[in-house]
Chains A and B, each alone.
Chain A
């Protein structure tokens, strides 16, 4: 059966308020991906998958509106949602569609225009992100959910607030080199540690920010990919898993079980081990999330994430460079676009097109994209 490759990637800048419509936002990412795929045309696509978190959308069934605007009619289009992991779920579905032989060329377009809503409306939606029957009635938010993990991790392993802050220091160092990132300033350790408390022990700079943005990944069958480009990037392994929505029912509060399981599947399918990964993009919606990702992906043992960042092993010249584009902490997090942005970065790294952010000689790359507080986990492994 045919292998599946990424043949084109595109992404808008991630900004606080994009000032354009969701259709225009998606057009920019789609156009860039077409150009990147040696000037493919909209009508070359066999189908499209549009990904976002619908609670931030005003448009009902956005796939229809976006497919029309992008010139993708009459080819099939539909919507995929897994909150912050929506667009890697789109990639997983596209992989299945291509692998089955149903389609040869599929565009996965992820977007979010979070500025579409007022901050009051965003706050209201945030309140319904937990289990609405038993947990939301207490006032649980995303930062508080991850803070519960952070506290448990600190208790069990002695992880410190300073170690978490060092993850944000790294992020700032790289996001200033990424012109598409929202955060264009380096932050000092002191500034991070002294920033206001959001959900203790997490502070302002431990949290990523909402953003507007879109991403596009074009996937192709092997036969098609070889006709389109000399530099396809292949999907070698995919893993996907879920965990409880309820905080109380999470069997593990010092790591994300959905990430551990998704990683196990992806490594097995790719036939590689964690040490074989040359560059990784992980879902650092909060600093603690990146630290747990180090451990859940096997880049270090459980409890040694703090040591890994202290030794700078996840910097560009370290043992395992992580989030060399700034990550969510530096780029901003337009929910539905984030997974596609991570895939884009890995594809550029593996093609040697990452410019100032290039990890030398990277051959195997990994994407770790999480939806909710460890609710949905996707891990995808790529190689040249």
Chain B
């Protein structure tokens, strides 16, 4: 238990990386890094597919500077997200070469969005007590 707080609708409760949510609630966005082979994982994971070590990860804060690679504006949504439409979904790449899928903040209007723009990832507490992260323009 613990991970069900992540996302407006959550489908996963049990995971070895549930501490991610505790960090997120404190405003920290954490990756894991393998102590053995040094590979960095974001989203975090405790099992290293690179050197096959298990539970030998350190938590570390991400370098929070991202570049927008692609995005879409969803006008139709799966169950539970209907009230949010339209919303923007994006993939961005970090300065460390990590890639992440998340929403683009509703504070940004679609005509302000440009591929290549710089973003930061920000924790967002939702009215239903859940927590999530979203991309916002860097510098805001």
Chain A residues in the interface with B (C-beta under 8 A): 120, 123-124, 126-128, 132-141, 143-144, 147-152, 155, 196-202, 246-249, 253
Contacts and interface: CB of A to CB of B under 8 A. Distances in A.
A202 B75 CA distance: 10
A133 to B, nearest CB: 5
Given A136-B7, A138-B89, A199-B76, 17 more contacts: A120-B79, A126-B79, A127-B78, A127-B80, A132-B11, A132-B12, A134-B101, A135-B101, A137-B8, A138-B103, A139-B81, A141-B77, A147-B72, A148-B71, A148-B91, A152-B70, A248-B91
Contact of A138 (B43, B76, B79, B101): B101
Nearest to B43: A134
Given A138-B89, A139-B8, A246 B72 contact: no
Contact of A253 (B70, B78, B79): B70
A151 B75 contact: no
B91 A197 contact: no
Contacts of B80: 127, 139
B25 to A, nearest CB: 16
A136 B75 CA distance: 16
Contacts of A199: 72-76
B6 interface: yes
B11 A133 contact: yes
Nearest to A197: B75
Contacts of B101: 134-135, 138, 140, 246-248
B118 to A, nearest CB: 16
Nearest to B77: A139
Interface in B59-110: 69-81, 84, 87, 89, 91, 99-103, 110
Of residues B78, B102, B132, which shows the largest number of chain A Cβ atoms within 10 Å of its Cβ? B78
B53 interface: no
Contact of B115 (A143, A155, A202): A155
A137 B89 contact: no
The 5 closest A-B pairs by CB, nearest first: A137-B7, A127-B78, A139-B81, A147-B72, A132-B11
* Interface SS of chain B: mixed
Contacts of B8: 137-139
Interface in B38-61: 43
B43 A253 contact: no
Interface of B: 3, 6-12, 15, 43, 69-81, 84, 87, 89, 91, 99-103, 110, 115, 132
A127 B70 contact: no
Contact of B99 (A196, A200, A249): A249
B29 to A, nearest CB: 13
B10 A137 contact: yes
A248 B72 contact: no
Given A141-B78, A247-B91, A136 B73 contact: no
A249 B102 CA distance: 13
Contact of B91 (A126, A136, A200, A253): A253
B107 to A, nearest CB: 16
B11 A200 contact: no
A144 B74 contact: yes
A133 B79 contact: no
A139 B78 contact: yes
Nearest to A121: B79
B70 A198 contact: no
B69 A253 contact: yes
A204 B1 CA distance: 40
Contacts of A149: 70
A197 B102 CA distance: 20
